[in-house]
A and B are shown apart, each in its own frame.
Chain A
Amino acid sequence: MLPLVLVVILGVLELGALRVAAARARSAADLATVVAIGDQDLLALSATGRFRPSQDAAAVAREYLVLNLLPVEHTLGAGAAAIAGAADVAVFADAGQTDPLTGRRYEQPAVRISADVPIKTPAFAALLLGAVTTIRVDAASEAR
């Protein structure tokens, strides 16, 4: 009875911790896309009156993904820089484009991040499951 109870407790706690880690990774990606789409090409904006992401929007998205993942890096199965480096970052410079990955149509210029985030799950490893659980994080922000 007791071993089963311990297994249940471990599993529940690990699932809860995994949920928190996943939420934090999603909010990191969200914030990175918000910052990146806020990085507008000011010359184009003043000349045309239309939003247009700056040339370095993808780099900014990666940079802020790293900065926001760093505080939780100890819970990740890879470095924050490696995760951000491997992330699929797409910049949709024109309004009305459709994201080929998600199928979503953006009414305004947008930045999208799709990243695989490996999260350490030591309790799952103790239960002979995976020591690392990878979750897919998708985040997108449109200019307005």
Chain B
Amino acid sequence: MRTDDSGLATLETILSVVVLVPVLFSVIAFGGAFQRWIAQDAAVVQAARFAAEVGGDSAEVRALLADALTGSGIDPSRVDVSIEPSRVGWREPITVRAVSQARIDIPFILHIDLPLSSSAVARGEVNR
């Protein structure tokens, strides 16, 4: 009896591609998203400290945040930023929030925008 296993290698290759390619893309895509999230968090903390120093929301605070985001490879025009309250007094809390979307594209499995939310609370340092 003659056996022919020439198709087995093809089948293994197809299975490997279908399984391993998504794994590879998952590691790269989620690794990038996690790195971006940490960078965004750091930028928001920096902005919260500055907002507390200058007493609230201002063009300088937003510019600092935009610079920090740009330096981390994040397009600031695609980040929703809120600073509340817009004017803060001595020893009052001020919150800076930033939300962006990280695109996750994994062949055969997943295509989503992953929301990355960051926030930081600092304390007003301007004695009005």
Instruction: Mark out the residues of chain A between 107 and 139 whose CB falls within 8 Å of any chain B CB in the assembled complex.
Output: none
Q: A17-25, A43-51, A98-106: which lies at the B interface?
A: A17-25
Residue pair B41, A24 in contact (C-beta under 8 Å): yes
Say whether, besides A2-B19, A67-B93, A23 and B49 are in contact (CB < 8 Å): no
Task: Give Cα A2 to B91, complex, Å.
Answer: 55
Q: Give the residues in chain A near B122, CB-CB below 8 Å.
A: 31, 34-35, 64
**In the docked arrangement, what's the CA distance between A35 and B92, Å?**
11
Q: Interface centre among B23, B26, B34, B42, by most A CB within 10 Å?
A: B34
- Contacting residues, chain A, for B119 (C-beta < 8 A): 68, 71
Q: Is residue A59 contacting chain B, with contact meaning CB distance below 8 A?
A: no
Within 8 A of B (CB), among A5-27: 5, 8-9, 12-13, 16-17, 19-20, 23-24, 27
Chain A, interface size category, equals 20 to 34
Establish whether residues A1 and B34, one from each chain, have CB atoms under 8 Å apart when the complex forms.
no
When the two chains form their complex, are residues B45 and A64 in contact, meaning their CB atoms are under 8 A apart?
Answer: no
Contacts of B30 in A (CB 8 A): 12-13, 16
Partner of A27, one of B15, B45, B117: B45
| Cα–Cα, bound, A38→B96 (Å) | 19
- Nearest CB of B to A83, in Å: 15
How many Å lie between the Cα of A10 and that of B27 in the bound state?
A: 10
B121 touches A19 (CB 8 A): no
**Given A16-B34, A20-B38, A31-B45, also A39-B123 (CB < 8 A):** yes
Are A35 and B123 touching (Cβ within 8 A)? yes
Within the complex, the shortest CB–CB distance from B45 to chain A, in Å, comes to 5
Return chain A residues, CB-CB under 8 Å to B49: 31, 34
Contact A67 B41 (CB under 8 A): no
Q: Does B120 lie within 8 Å of A31, measured CB to CB?
A: yes
A30 within 8 A of B: yes
Tell me, in angstroms, the Cα distance from A67 to B30 when the chains sit together: 28
B125 at the interface (CB under 8 A from A): yes
Considering the complex of A and B, which 7 residue pairs feature the smallest CB-CB distances, nearest first? Answer: A67-B121, A16-B34, A35-B123, A71-B119, A23-B38, A27-B45, A20-B34
30 interchain pairs (CB within 8 A)? A2-B19, A5-B19, A5-B23, A9-B23, A12-B30, A13-B26, A13-B30, A17-B34, A19-B34, A23-B41, A24-B41, A27-B41, A27-B42, A27-B45, A27-B120, A31-B48, A31-B121, A31-B122, A35-B123, A39-B91, A60-B123, A64-B93, A64-B121, A64-B122, A64-B123, A67-B93, A68-B119, A68-B120, A71-B117, A71-B119
